[in-house]
Chain A
Amino acid sequence: MEKLSSTFTASHGVMTAEVGVISGELELRTTCHEDGVLSLKITYVGAAEWYTLPGEEYRLHDLRDHEVVHRMLVRVLERG
């Protein structure tokens, strides 16, 4: 299981399952499990609760793709 975490600024926000759009300084955490299943969590930097990004059952065919996917997600959400 590998966890990657990045912080970024989402001036126009990111959609979450629990509270709708969140904005500002955010932290994305992606966890890649041994079977390739990827879970995505997001929070405000320093906040005490995490939210879920829409969508589920993301699965990587090659675990080595985790870092590339993580970086790609950050860039996309930042631009959001």
Chain B
Amino acid sequence: MLKIKKSMLIVFAFILSFTALQLDPPSVSALPPGTPSKSEAQSQLNSLTVKSEGPMTGYSRDEFPHWIGQGNGCDTRQIVLQRDADYYSGDCPVTSGKWYSYFDGVIVYSPSEIDIDHVVPMAEAWRSGASSWTTEQRRAFANDLNGPQLIAVTASVNRSKGDQDPSTWQPPRTGARCAYAKWWINTKYRWDLHLQSSEKTALQTMLNGCVY
């Protein structure tokens, strides 16, 4: 009797540890807040307006004042750099640390190799609704720490992504595509941006690959 109980306990402990492993992200690194569940992302995707992209007339990065001061000498970039680090030293600016770049799975130790990616790029936002916003709204979008719109990734993967949407660019690490789709959908949903049909098709395919 005692023996059975003990082995059951072991099994139970094993299941518990396995569950904990599954719930934790692959790395200890922090990820952006507000990642929706698969079903939430699906209903958000369903509610987005499908529309062809608007022109880039008048666009410049200056229309989206980004990396604004966040207090204590830190700007938005530094805040995300700290949030997404496994560890770091130096306050603002951060001088070194360890970052796991979610899109490409690369680990780097220097902040100079890290970019803060706008999951929905500013140029993409411009042609999907932000051209009619006020500068204040664009400032809030470009410094959005409340949702999954900013993430620390390698400068090289950020450059190869550029302004593209999920119909032409997806993270090279296939394991990152589910979360990427959720972040993209959630950002467009929260900021009331529209999307093109090719983009919607790509997002649906990516979302179908999500387990939860």
Residues of A within 8 A of B (CB): 11-13, 15-16, 19-25, 44-49
Q: Name the residue on B nearest A18 (C-beta).
A: B61
- 18 new A-B pairs (CB below 8 Å) besides A21-B160, A49-B62? A11-B168, A13-B164, A15-B159, A16-B162, A19-B123, A21-B164, A22-B123, A22-B162, A23-B162, A24-B53, A24-B127, A25-B55, A44-B123, A45-B55, A46-B57, A47-B60, A48-B59, A49-B59
B58 touches A20 (CB 8 A): no
B162 to chain A: which residues have CB within 8 Å?
13, 15-16, 19-23
B163 to chain A: which residues have CB within 8 Å?
13, 19-24
List CB contacts (< 8 Å) of B22-40 with chain A: none
A12 to chain B: which residues have CB within 8 Å?
164, 168
A-B CB contacts (within 8 Å), total count = 67
A21 touches B56 (CB 8 A): no
In this assembly, does B158 line the interface, its C-beta being within 8 Å of a C-beta of chain A?
yes
User: B56 contacts which of A13, A15, A16, A45 (Cβ < 8 Å)?
Assistant: A45
Indicate with 1 or 0, residue by residue over B48-66, a CB within 8 angstroms of chain A CB atoms.
0000010111111111000
Complex CA gap A19/B53 in Å reads 20
* Nearest 10 pairs of A and B residues by beta carbon: A21-B162, A20-B159, A44-B56, A46-B57, A20-B162, A49-B60, A48-B60, A47-B59, A47-B56, A22-B163
